[in-house]
Amino acid sequence: MSAVRAIHGPVKIVPSESQVLPETRLVEGRPTLHEITSGIAHPLESRPGKAWWICLALAVAALLNLGGMVAYLVGKGVGIWGLNNSVGWAFDITNFVFWVGIGHAGTLISAILLLFRQQWRTSINRSAEAMTIFAVMCAGMFPAIHMGRPWDAFFIFPYPNQRGPLWINFRSPLVWDVFAISTYLTISLVFWYLGMIPDLATMRDRTKDPVKKFIFRILSLGWNGSHRTWSRYEVVSLILAGLATPLVLSVHSVVSMDFATSVIPGWHTTIFPPYFVAGAIYSGFGMVLMLLILTRQTMPPQRYTTLVHLDKMAKVTLLTGMIVSYAYMTEFFNAWYGGNLYERYHFINRATGPYAWCFYFMVLCNVVTPQILWFKKARTNVALLFIVSILVNIGMWFERFVIIVVSLHRTFLPSACGMFYPTKYDVGILIGSFGLFFTCFLIFIRVLPMIAMWEIKGVVAHSEHERALGSDAAARAVAGD
Amino acid sequence: MKQRCRSEQEEKLVEIGEPPTSTYWKSLEERRNGPHFTAEFPGGLPQLNGAGAGEPTRRGFLGMMDFSLAAVGLSGCRGPVQNAIPLLVGSDDITPGVANYYATTCRGCASSCSLVVKQRDGRPIKIEGNAESTLFGNGTCATGQATVLSLYDDARFRGPVWRGQPAKWDELDQRVLDSLVEARAGHRKVALLSSTINSPSTLRIIAQFSQQHPNFTHVMYDPASYSGIRAANASSFGRAVIPHYAFDKARVIVGLEADFLGTWLSPVEFARQYAAARRPEGSPSLHVQFESGLSVTGSNADVRIPIAPSELGAIAVALLRRVARKAGVTGVSEGKEFFSDAQKLDAVADELWKHRGESLVVSGVNDVSIQTVVNALNWFLGNIGKTVDLTQPSLQRTGDDSAMAELVEAMNRGEIHTLIVYGVNPAYDYSDSQHFLEGLDKVSLSVSLSDRPDETSSRVHAICPDHHFLEAWGDAEPVASVFSLAQPLIAPLFETRAAQETLLRWAGDPEPNYYTYIREFWRKNLYPLQKTFDSFDAFWDRSLQDGVAVIPSGTVAHLPRLQGDWTEAAQTILQGEEQAARNDDRYELHFYESVALRDGRHANNPWLQELPDPISKVTWGNYAAVAPALANRLGLSEGEVVRLKTARGQIELPVFIQPGQHARTISIAVGYGRTLVGKAGRNVGVNVFPLTSMAAGLRTYSIRDVALEKTGKTDLLAGTQSHFSMEGRPIVLETTLKELKQGGETGENKKALPTLWAEQLHGEHSWGMSIDMNACTGCSACVVACQAENNVPVVGKDQVQRQRVMHWIRIDQYYSGPEDNPVSVHQPMMCQHCQNAPCETVCPVLATTTSSEGLNQQVYNRCIGTRYCANNCPYKVRRFNWYNYTDNPDFDFNMASPLGRMVLNPDVVVRSRGVMEKCSLCVQRIQLAKNLALQGKREVAEADIQTACQQACPTQAIVFGDLKDPNSRVSKLRQDPRHYEVLEDLGVRPNVGYLKKVRNPMSNV
């Protein structure tokens, strides 16, 4: 298979190193190609277990809550939230940035790691991409519902209209958001779908249910597995990866400009684009970790998500966590060094004001927590990683809350200072967005192959022939099993 | 501005009132045969002219067809009355869509300010000051601005009421007349209990009434009493009057607990005088204020000294002692000084003495001794006849506490047979309201002329509702010889009758007509005194059109001399001080009128309830203002409910920590805690009138020996500002008089900050504003004026607590200096109309843009409500419609009630929910002025446009104009050395500028 060859090289490990380090194994055991296929297809072909049903029930309950609250919100007005004259954005935009951030890991894994030929991405990229799409869906909901008049949300699209020269304001970062997010969603969706086509063809060939077969037939776009198909497929994958790579950096850079281009102390900072991108990858990996650990522990085939994967993701988390911590420090340093009265007040207030607890909680989650990942033992401890991943996500939510609310509640004129207190609708809609996310994800893992079968097959030394072609070290490692 | 007077023809319209309902019939014929068709057209069908009857043209025929169809169709309908223009015969003066302005007189309080009221399509919609008035000028106060909303109050009585049941006027009149006859027959007393009446014609009617009823007494009663001043002047100068003060002529003003810029006597007039005397360009007067709670007046003083109410007398005596010593008069015993800071008093006395004849000492305390000492002070300083005018006294408060007390006693003794209550509510605001109510029960017929429910009218037998003043004729004489006329702006909305007509009816006039009466009264009494006009009609028309007339009375009064025994008064005060015990755990309470609600009669006015207090910025309720030191000592936090135990009972109130509050004194506003009132004011705050007491025949508004207890409860205050420190930012800039005189940097040589932005190109105009921080007293009239002009919704206490107040203009309050006696500033803050507006760049849909005339404009239709603009506004002046405030079942008054909506300005759109709004610099007024200029083929003149806030400002702190015109006032003020822009370093280039506050520190205090 050409696909195998294309990404085959890095499996070879230089012998001298291999004597020190055992070869990393991306798949546990030695599954045959058939075992891989049937293993991954298993959840689609069997009845879901009790755990799945419980999770789905919880998620759907939260989703229904979201539906009800959003309906009330649209009917009554955004006044049901705790917003006020001083704090015009709070949970709404916090949630938006949070979910956009979550959505970052998918593209990073599928595009950038593909370009860097990181083999370990193969077992996680499918679910990470799915996560991206669901997260961006959640994110996209918030700008729409946060509007005072959501029924007029279409005003922000530059569509031809009969209202004379009415056009959108290209100077507004909110317009940039619209383009950035919609582009990102489109590319992610295409990437995800394209990556699934060989597997959809596999499912088409496996399933006996005529309805499913029909659907898979349509979705697999007549995939026949020929060399020519594979060859074109490879080319398209690379092109798309190339296209998607800048998006990883651009989307959150643009989102950060919602704040950076404003005049508000705490928002008006040039550090925001890289800082937000790092934060996004950080939270995205946190979420991928969490989801993988969850599915790994609850769904039968554990062999595709090994400790090797977790270890590598933990390293990325550590790295981005350090970047984020560095950004925090830089902000404080600049507030002091810049000598701007308002900026300085803002950062003193961030650390000592009424929302200081949010700030310290954020520091605890985002700066202190990832330090534990310096230790290999921690990186390979599933339970600990799970806790870390949750803390990272909470911490990143608080980071956005701190940036948005703490900056707004104290402004230039002290007379306009206010406070934000969330209402049950703020909290309910936040929980509801998780309901939407998990409902989508839970359904996804039951109706589509959550691991890219064809890519896994490429990284498994599945035949004696391959092993013979491989290095001695690889052979030794396999023989040693 | 065009002012009109009512012609005879129009007066008929006023009398028409409510159109008859279909059940009435006019004649037997009509009853049998049904209403005659032509009755729809009382003037007969209009004749078509042009085309002759013999030659029908095609156009004429079609026109007739159209007319007939429309006529047939219309004859079947009766439109909703509230929305119709209530005119059956079109008037030349009323063009739909074009506003008329009529002069009238405010009856929001007894100050009787002259007003010009804007009337659109038959509805009065906006109160404005009357520039013709020599007393009050262009300005108004917040209460006056809000009175127009009280006209459209759902709580108003729809008609007369007899024992809780709707009744007919004839029936009620008969009952009252029977009762009066009975009283006369039994030689029983008839009493009229009214508020201050300074209407000469009304006083004449009452005199006429008293002639009919020999046992008649008329008692005037003011809940916030001034009778101490009158009593003191009676003893000092032999005249029971309140002098007419001239703050503009005073170079040194010493206020002893008199909030003359906020609520005391005639605040609009005094604020105007005060600002005129304190322009930094001249030589501004010095103002020293002694007071316990921080008032609007105190916050403007150069030197403010917090004192306890009990120390006030000692301070007055100490000042008198020093002044008398300088004047070489003996008589004040050199006793112990009770006020610790003798040096300050020395300095104040020096300043006063230095400016003999051009200084002024005023005190608002209702105490004869203190007022007598103040009289002596003004006498020795030579102020009588200069800054204190006793010959042309103020008639703005004429209530008499002892007469009121006597009336209540008489009622309780059962001596009063018939009691008529007019314009007062003693069941709520009398110190012993229970006693009053007991007396009321012993009266055989009690009548209230109140136009809306209150605690008193709910306990009387008959309610004969008076008109709202905007529906009524009237006159007033606020200061002797200065007359002000009032004319109706709208036909009475309900079946009410002018109180004067009611009294005339009971005086025996079967067909009373107050309009004829007042006209005749002016013909007989005032017309002969003037020499300008040859005919009465000309005199009347002129007076009505101007609204004011200064008619000096023929008699020349001689200057009074000090004759009373002021030494005894001083001695009384000192003896009282000797006896008073001081204990750190016993506090004093001080009651004051709040700027918004005053004595509580406007409690059902949601604009006033939601008006932030000029000092504390608290809305919807009163509170116990405590000093920061006291709060620290007792561990009190804001909103914590405390129990205050006094000899006259106890109350529970939330705490507000007020910088500048005297350490042992707790200030509480009266006027809250109304129970029998419309929805807006019911149970808002706590009524502290029962804690006031009578001492030596005078109401006392302070109480000693109060214990404070914590209750453990909290009652969150609805404040609009929570942070009162400027944090060292360039928000309110100050300079000193010395610096200013030496010449600082002027607007011209000030270096403009560099910018990366392209210069905004403007068309013909560039509208801008300049706000004088030195003139602004913080009185908040502009806030209500803006609310009325721009249809700003009232949002209610809950929404204010959530920091969602909608006011387009707010007055920021900042303190600097020590907490126990800080320096304060008031800063009006509204959209700054930035030329590089941060709000504009961030709006995704271009809903906010800079116009070609420099206005930052908000396009409601385009706004989708992302609120990014509000987040990015450095001044936080943008207001978001969180809900549909016009359709709020929890809050169904003002904009959410059909009657309340009649106050809306048709020129300004009512915003729906989900859109952002903010100050437009009254763009509708700019547009109107431009249209009128276009029609008149002339340029827009500066005087053509006044924004609502500018117009309401009694001190003329706000100047609006065209920055493109180098000769406009606002352009010139931009070059003023005091000019600055708030947060200039942000580079947003606001079109609203400010003039620095000028401090004039008294060197030796």
Taking CB atoms and an 8 Å limit, are A147 and B866 in contact across chains?
A: yes
Q: What is the signed CA dihedral for B252, B253, B254, B256, rounded to 10 degrees?
A: 180
Find the angle CA(B575)-CA(B581)-CA(B585) to the nearest 5 degrees.
Answer: 155
The pLDDT score that the predictor gives to residue B892 is: 72
A419 to chain B, any CB pair closer than 8 A? The answer is: yes
A409 touching chain B per CB within 8 A? no
pLDDT at residue number B39: 45
Give Dmax (Cα) for chain A: 77
Asked whether the beta carbons of residue B865 and residue A149 sit closer than 8 angstroms, the reply is: yes
Residue pair A122/A145 in contact by the 8 Å Cβ criterion: no
State the Cα–Cα distance between residues B455 and B223, nearest whole angstrom.
Answer: 14
User: Is the Cβ of A417 closer than 8 Å to some Cβ of chain B?
Assistant: yes
Instruction: Measure Cα distances from B921 to B160, B929, B949 in Å.
Output: 44, 13, 9
Q: B86 pLDDT band (50/70/90 cuts)? A: low
Per-residue pLDDT tens for B435-477? 999 999 999 999 999 999 999 999 999 999 999 999 999 999 9
More confident site: B14 or B139: B139
Say whether pLDDT at B779 is over 90. yes
3-state secondary structure of B858: strand
Contact B915 A264 (CB under 8 A): no
**Residue B296 · residue B595 · CB < 8 Å:** yes
Residues 424-483 of B with CB under 8 A from A: none
Helix (H, G, I), strand (E, B) or coil at B610: coil
The pLDDT, as a whole number, for residue B30 is 52
pLDDT, residue B335, reads 66
The 3-state DSSP composition of chain A as helix, strand, coil percent (nearest 5) reads 75, 0, 25
- The pLDDT assigned to A464 comes to 46
Of B618, B731, B802, which to mutate for an interface test with A (greatest number of A Cβ within 10 Å)? B802
Alpha helices in A339-374, H assignment, sequence order: 341-352, 356-363
Q: Which residues 180-199 of A have a C-beta within 8 angstroms of B?
A: none
Interface contact A414, partner B, CB < 8 A: yes
Please indicate whether, in this complex, the C-beta atoms of B868 and A411 are within 8 angstroms of each other.
no
A149 and chain B: CB distance < 8 Å anywhere? yes
Rounded mean pLDDT, B963-969: 92
Q: Is pLDDT above 70 for B48?
A: no
Residues 74-133 of chain A whose Cβ lies under 8 A from any Cβ of chain B:
76-79, 82-86, 88-89
Q: Which of B 704-723 lie inside 8 A of A, CB atoms?
A: 721-723
Determine contact, residues B886/B797, Cβ cutoff 8 Å.
no
Average pLDDT in the B820-844 region?
Answer: 93
Please name the residue of chain B whose CA is at the shortest distance from the CA of residue A150.
Answer: B864
- Residue ranges and CATH numbers for the domains of chain A are 2-9+30-472 (1.20.1630.10)
User: Residue A106 in contact with residue A129, Cβ under 8 Å?
Assistant: yes
DSSP structure class, residue B89: S
What pLDDT is attached to residue A472?
46
Residue B862's closest chain A neighbor by CA? A155
Sign of the CA dihedral running B359, B365, B369, B372: positive
- How many Å apart are CA B555 and CA B553, to the nearest integer? 6
The band of B804, judged by pLDDT with boundaries at 50, 70 and 90, is: very high
d(CA B594, CA B856): 35
Residue B38 clears pLDDT 60, i.e. is over it = no
Predicted confidence (pLDDT) per residue in B384-415, tens digit: 989 999 988 999 999 999 999 999 999 999 99
What would you report as the CA-atom Rg of chain B, rounded to the nearest whole angstrom? Answer: 29
B729:A341 CB<8 A: yes
Residues 6+ away with beta carbon under 8 Å from B258: B264, B297, B362, B363, B364, B365
CA distance B193 to B421: 5
Give the single-character DSSP code of B423.
S
Q: Which two tokens stand for residue B90?
A: 């079109």
Sign of the torsion formed by the C-alpha atoms of B856, B860, B861 and B863: positive
Q: Which two tokens stand for residue B521?
A: 């009264």
Contact A415 B723 (CB under 8 A): yes
Helix A227-260 / helix A272-298 crossing angle, nearest 10 deg: 130
Q: Give B169 to chain A, closest Cα distance, Å.
A: 46
Please provide the average confidence, as pLDDT, over all residues in chain B.
Answer: 87
C-alpha B877 chain-centroid distance: 25
Q: Does A157 touch chain B (CB under 8 A)?
A: no
Q: Name the residue type at position B88.
A: L
What number of C-beta contacts closer than 8 Å exist between A and B?
167
A352 touching B (Cβ < 8 Å): no
Interchain contact A153–B (C-beta under 8 A): yes
How many CB atoms neighbour CB A123 within 10 A?
26
Average pLDDT over residues B168-182: 92
**pLDDT given for residue B374 in this prediction:** 93
List A residues 317-336 in contact with B (Cβ-Cβ < 8 A).
none
Of A77, A83, A152, the CB nearest to B884: A77
For B372-392, b/e burial (b = at least 16 CB within 10 A) is bbbbbbbbbbbbbebbbbbbb
| pLDDT tens per residue, range A53-68 | 999 999 999 999 999 9
To the nearest whole Å, the CA of B5 is away from the closest chain A CA by: 44
Residue-wise pLDDT tens digits, B875-905: 999 999 999 988 877 777 788 888 999 999 9
Task: Kindly report, residue by residue over B587-634, the tens digit of the pLDDT.
Answer: 999 999 999 999 999 999 999 999 999 999 999 999 999 999 999 999
For residue A88, which residues of chain B lie inside 8 Å, CB to CB?
A: 867-868, 870-871, 880
Instruction: Report the residue of chain B nearest A408, measured CA to CA.
Output: B871
- Shortest Cα–Cα distance, B315 to chain A (Å): 35
A34 lies within 8 A of chain B by CB = no
Contacts of A146 in chain B (CB under 8 A): 866-867
What is B474-507 written as a DSSP string?
A: EEEEEETTEEEEE--SS--SSS---HHHHHHHHT
CA B768 to chain centre: 28
Asked whether the predicted pLDDT for residue B807 surpasses 50, the reply is yes
**Using CA atoms, how far apart are residues B864 and A143, in angstroms rounded to an integer?**
11
Q: With an 8 Å Cβ cutoff, are B729 and A155 in contact?
A: no
Identity of the residue in A88, A167, A345 whose CB atom sits nearest the CB atom of B871: A88
Residue scoring higher pLDDT (B149 or B567)? B149
Q: What is the pLDDT of residues B751-767, one digit of tens each?
A: 667 777 777 667 889 99
**Which member of B727, B842, B982 has the closest CB to residue A414?**
B727
Q: Chain B residues with CB inside 8 Å of A97's CB?
A: none
- Provide, as residue numbers in chain A, all residues whose Cβ is less than 8 Å from the Cβ of B878: 85
pLDDT reported for residue B700 = 92
d(CA B265, CA B244): 10
Please answer whether residues B369 and B577 qualify as being in contact, where contact means their C-beta atoms are separated by less than 8 angstroms: no
A357's tokens:
């607890």
pLDDT in tens, B232-287: 999 999 889 999 999 999 999 999 999 999 999 999 999 999 999 999 888 899 99
Q: Which of B726, B875, B882 sits opposite A78 (nearest CB)?
A: B882
Domains and CATH numbers, chain B: 161-222+399-487+499-531 (3.40.50.740), 227-391 (3.40.228.10), 581-719 (2.40.40.20), 734-750+763-999 (3.30.70.20)
The token duo for B948 is: 């609502």
pLDDT of amino acid B1005: 54
- Residue B1003 pLDDT exceeds 90: no
- To the nearest 10 degrees (0 to 180), the angle between helices A91-102 and A227-260 is 150
What is the Cα–Cα distance from B792 to B831, expressed in whole angstroms?
15
| DSSP character string of B305-357 | EE--GGGHHHHHHHHHHHHHHHHT---S------SS-HHHHHHHHHHHHHTTT
Rounded to a whole number of angstroms, the distance from the CA of B977 to the nearest CA of chain A is: 23
What is the dihedral angle through the alpha carbons of B724, B725, B730, B735, rounded to the nearest 10 degrees? Answer: 90
pLDDT at B759: 73
Task: Judge: A149–B914 Cβ closer than 8 Å, yes or no.
Answer: yes
Q: Please, which pLDDT band fits residue B89 given cuts at 50, 70 and 90?
A: low
The parts of chain A modelled with pLDDT lower than 70 are 1-26, 28-29, 300-303, 461-481
Q: Strand, coil or helix: what is B116?
A: strand
Of B54-63, B372-381, B941-950, where does mean pLDDT reach its minimum?
A: B54-63
- pLDDT over 80 (residue B844): yes
* pLDDT tens-place string over residues B477-495: 999 999 999 999 999 999 9
* CB contact B812 to A (< 8 Å): yes
